[in-house]
């Protein structure tokens, strides 16, 4: 049974919306009448009061309900549900077909992984890469919860996220949407995000299966990945997503070992539905379907947005799929399975009961209800913006800033402020002014954007005299301004090609220079060792509250606790993978992605994976290992603990990370992340942190037996504050 707190207004709204059954573009008269009725109630208040207490069903319960409905459907009705209605034909970026007698609604599928795209009255929060940088499971889940709440209130059944492709190459393009370079971290962040989204009765979508690690030639290239690397790196986050009960998985544009991902029997049927036991439905990326028979038979359940190419008016599914069934090329049982997966996912998330109807329109603003669903989410965004900010350098404890000791501050760089071009550019596609998000389909509109300058001014009040130079191309003026200030803050971002020149000009003129970097991912920092650069702060992509969360860190209202979810190299050549411009290329680094490559090849990074400074200090001691089950089998259970004390002068959060060195027989990289926690300690206090390692954490993939194996032999557990700053180690042996 599902319980809802419902007001009369909500019930009325639901009834009115359900009174029409045509797509938006075919129902102007009906919609006008509906809009007139809705004006008589407070729609926004109705949405606020629709607080669902979702009872998420098991897959068995969901399938039992789905069977009762699907058994009543004709072939044509089943095919209709699997087929999108076409690009810009409905209110959402994707809508599938509906049925009547029996009734099944048109589902709304909407971008993006960080918030709702093409809508107003919504929040624009931290990017996925920032969520990962928080290393905070609870905060990541809360981020999923508020996003799910907003999608639900707007009537979107399906959020097209999270993204979980790996940060293989720094120039890949969409690294910022996902969670970094380590499979374990990406898996945890994916599972927590999914759990948060789906707790609000909204379907999450794990994307993109698999090999979509670069944008260059993504529509045609083949990512050639060996079996072990697929299992240990690229499939790992999807396995954790399936364990979290994800409703849908999106297949990628690219080919996998020569076969398009959305018709790959190996990726969809063998790995996802077979090995991982995925019960939900597989949807295509937009126009990533390339066939009728091969796609259907090899596991694709829904084609999006439906048309073969945008505005083409035809589809690989629809009539073509019906004809293929009637010709015996696709069995009707396969179509039934496709629909069962979609309908069961709908039931699983309780969307058959009191789900708000779509009240926005991505492409026709005149049909949008303009309902504000932000609630108090800006507070969570500000908190996570600060929690995911990484302090890379802090010489002479220049941070936190002490207002009593600063008379004049210079703020320099175009990234310090916002402008209308940057705020209004579609999908944030203009590198103009401060950036707090990447660009493309993974964005949502800013309801506002607090710039670094505005945030710092608000926090400093009238105590500090702040001057600014908001251009990057007038170096003499920037240098002169910096020379007259006690503190110079240079704000730069990854979208400019001349950061080094601006930073150096300011640093040459001011011995107390602080660099603030808004970046979509790893960047080169040849200027980092300049003696006048006393601090480097990496807020990444913190969302709409950018300037406020930055000020919270700079002035010490929040102790920085973000950690790098990727490696920052000294040289571009040090990274294991580059963007490939060919039509077919190998993932030649294999399982040695990210910090694993640096460790295996003895390369010193500039800043290692997991790195981040604090305004306090922490001591690690008393590591203990307990083998509850010391044999290499499915029931293996190893517990590790360490005591951590805050030995500094202020409260703060620490992120102990557990890495494991495997026995030589496993032929793994030198160490693998297999656990982390974020703990908050008052000054002078301490806490015992526990880590649990079972088969998932202690296995490697054997290409000989084609299965995961826990090896016999000696393991070593390393616990530290980063992948290179190991504070304590201990060994254990499995027989």
Residue 506 structure tokens: 């300011």
**Interatomic CA distance for residues 93 and 545, integer angstroms:** 27
Q: Please report, for residues 43, 115, 230, 609, 717, the alpha-carbon distance to residue 720 in angstroms, rounded to integers and kept in the order given.
A: 51, 34, 28, 12, 10
User: If DSSP codes are grouped into helix, strand and coil, which group holds residue 93?
Assistant: coil
* 574 in active site: no
CB atoms within 10 A of CB 602: 7
The catalytically annotated residue of 111, 182, 285, 552 is 285
Helix (H) or strand (E) holding 290: none
Residues with Cβ within 8 Å of 56's Cβ and at least 6 positions away in sequence, in order, are 198, 199, 245, 348, 349, 350
Q: Please report, for residues 70, 567, 662, 724, the alpha-carbon distance to residue 599 in angstroms, rounded to integers and kept in the order given.
A: 53, 11, 14, 9
CB 498 within 8 A of CB 442: no
CB 543 within 8 A of CB 124: yes
User: If DSSP codes are grouped into helix, strand and coil, which group holds residue 68?
Assistant: helix
**Interatomic CA distance for residues 638 and 629, integer angstroms:** 7
CB 435 within 8 A of CB 428: yes
Beta bridge partners of 109: 94, 158
Q: Which residue has the tokens 């800013």?
A: 446
Nearest to 568 by CA among 598, 537, 535, 529: 598
**Interatomic CA distance for residues 368 and 38, integer angstroms:** 12
CB atoms within 10 A of CB 76: 14
Q: Which residue has the tokens 């949502």?
A: 444
Q: Please report, for residues 147, 206, 227, the alpha-carbon distance to residue 203 in angstroms, rounded to integers and kept in the order given.
A: 11, 10, 30
CB 440 within 8 A of CB 111: no
Contacts 24+ apart (CB under 8 A), 51-54: 51/4, 51/5, 52/2, 52/4, 52/152, 52/200, 52/201, 52/350, 52/354, 53/2, 53/3, 53/4, 53/5, 54/2, 54/198, 54/199, 54/200, 54/201, 54/349, 54/350
**Interatomic CA distance for residues 155 and 90, integer angstroms:** 13
Nearest to 305 by CA among 158, 78, 89, 26: 89
Beta bridge partners of 206: 249
CB 502 within 8 A of CB 472: yes
User: If DSSP codes are grouped into helix, strand and coil, which group holds residue 113?
Assistant: coil
Residue 301 structure tokens: 């359940």
Residue 702 structure tokens: 């054997």
* Phi-psi label, residue 540: left if phi above 0, alpha if psi -120 to 50, beta otherwise: left
Helix/strand/coil (H/E/C) assignment for every residue in 323-384 = HHHHCCCCCHHHHHHHHHHHHHHHHHCCCCCCCCCCCCCCCCHHHCCCCCCCCCHHHHHHHH
Q: Return the active site residues.
A: 285
């Amino acid at each position: 049974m599902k319980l809802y707190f419902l007001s009369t207004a909500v019930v009325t709204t639901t009834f009115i919306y359900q009174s029409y059954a045509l797509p938006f573009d075919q129902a102007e008269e009906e919609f006008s009448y509906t809009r007139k009725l809705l004006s008589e109630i407070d729609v926004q208040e109705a949405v606020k009061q629709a607080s669902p207490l979702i009872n998420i069903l098991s897959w068995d319960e969901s399938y039992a309900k789905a069977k009762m409905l699907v058994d009543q459907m004709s072939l044509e009705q089943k095919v209709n549900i699997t087929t999108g209605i076409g690009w810009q034909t409905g209110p959402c970026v994707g809508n599938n077909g509906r049925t009547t007698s029996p009734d099944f609604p048109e589902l709304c599928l909407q971008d993006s992984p960080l918030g709702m795209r093409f809508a107003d009255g919504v929040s624009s929060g931290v990017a996925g890469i920032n969520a990962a940088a928080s290393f905070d499971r609870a905060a990541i889940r809360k981020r999923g919860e508020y996003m799910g709440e907003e999608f639900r209130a707007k009537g979107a059944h399906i959020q097209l996220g999270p993204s979980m492709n790996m940060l293989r190459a720094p120039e890949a393009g969409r690294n910022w949407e996902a969670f970094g370079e380590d499979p374990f971290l990406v898996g945890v962040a994916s599972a927590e995000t999914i759990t948060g989204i789906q707790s609000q009765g909204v379907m999450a979508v794990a994307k993109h299966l698999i090999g979509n690690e670069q944008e260059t030639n993504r529509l045609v290239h083949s990512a050639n990945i060996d079996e072990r690397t697929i299992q240990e790196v690229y499939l790992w986050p999807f396995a954790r997503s399936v364990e979290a009960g994800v409703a849908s998985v999106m297949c990628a544009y690219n080919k996998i070992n020569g076969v398009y991902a959305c018709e790959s029997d190996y990726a969809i049927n063998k790995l996802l539905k077979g090995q991982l036991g995925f019960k939900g439905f597989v949807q295509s990326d937009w126009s990533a379907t390339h066939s009728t028979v091969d796609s259907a038979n090899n596991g694709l359940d829904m084609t999006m947005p439906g048309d073969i190419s945008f505005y083409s008016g035809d589809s690989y599914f629809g009539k073509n799929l019906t004809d293929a069934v009637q010709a015996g090329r696709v069995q009707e049982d396969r179509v039934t399975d496709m629909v069962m997966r979609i309908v069961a996912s709908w039931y699983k998330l309780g969307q058959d009961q009191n789900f708000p109807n779509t009240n926005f329109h991505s492409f026709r603003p005149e049909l949008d209800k303009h309902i504000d669903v932000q609630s108090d989410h800006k507070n969570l965004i500000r908190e996570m913006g600060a929690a995911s900010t990484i302090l890379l350098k802090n010489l002479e404890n220049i941070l936190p800033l002490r207002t009593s000791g600063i008379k004049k501050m210079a703020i320099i760089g175009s990234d310090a402020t916002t402008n209308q071009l940057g705020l209004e550019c579609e999908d944030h596609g203009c590198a103009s002014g401060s950036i707090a998000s990447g660009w493309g389909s993974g964005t949502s509109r800013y309801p506002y954007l607090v710039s670094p300058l505005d945030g710092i001014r608000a926090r400093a009040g009238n105590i500090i005299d702040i001057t600014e130079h908001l251009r990057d191309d007038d170096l003499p003026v920037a240098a002169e301004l910096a020379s007259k200030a006690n503190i110079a803050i240079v704000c730069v971002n990854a979208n400019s090609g001349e950061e080094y020149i601006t930073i150096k000009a300011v640093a040459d003129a001011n011995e107390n220079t602080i660099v603030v970097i808004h970046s979509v991912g790893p960047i080169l920092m040849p200027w980092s060792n300049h003696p006048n650069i006393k601090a480097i702060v990496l807020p990444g992509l913190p969302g709409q509250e950018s300037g406020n969360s930055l000020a919270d860190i700079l002035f010490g209202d929040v102790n920085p606790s973000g950690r790098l979810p990727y490696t920052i190299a000294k040289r571009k050549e040090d990274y294991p993978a580059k963007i490939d411009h060919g039509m077919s290329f190998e993932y030649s680094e294999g399982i040695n992605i990210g910090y694993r490559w640096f460790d295996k090849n003895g390369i010193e990074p500039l800043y290692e994976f997991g790195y981040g400074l604090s305004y306090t200090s922490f001591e690690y001691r008393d590591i203990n290992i307990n083998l509850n089950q010391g044999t290499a089998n499915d029931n293996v259970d190893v517990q590790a603990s360490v005591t951590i004390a805050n030995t500094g002068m202020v409260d703060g959060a620490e992120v102990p990370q557990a890495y494991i060195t495997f026995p030589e027989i496993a032929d793994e990289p030198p160490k693998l992340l297999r656990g982390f926690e974020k703990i908050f300690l008052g000054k002078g206090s301490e806490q015992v942190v526990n880590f649990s390692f079972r088969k998932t954490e202690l296995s490697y993939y054997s290409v000989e037996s084609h299965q995961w194996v826990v090896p016999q032999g000696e393991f070593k557990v390393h616990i530290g504050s980063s992948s290179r700053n190991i504070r304590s180690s201990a060994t254990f042996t499995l027989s």
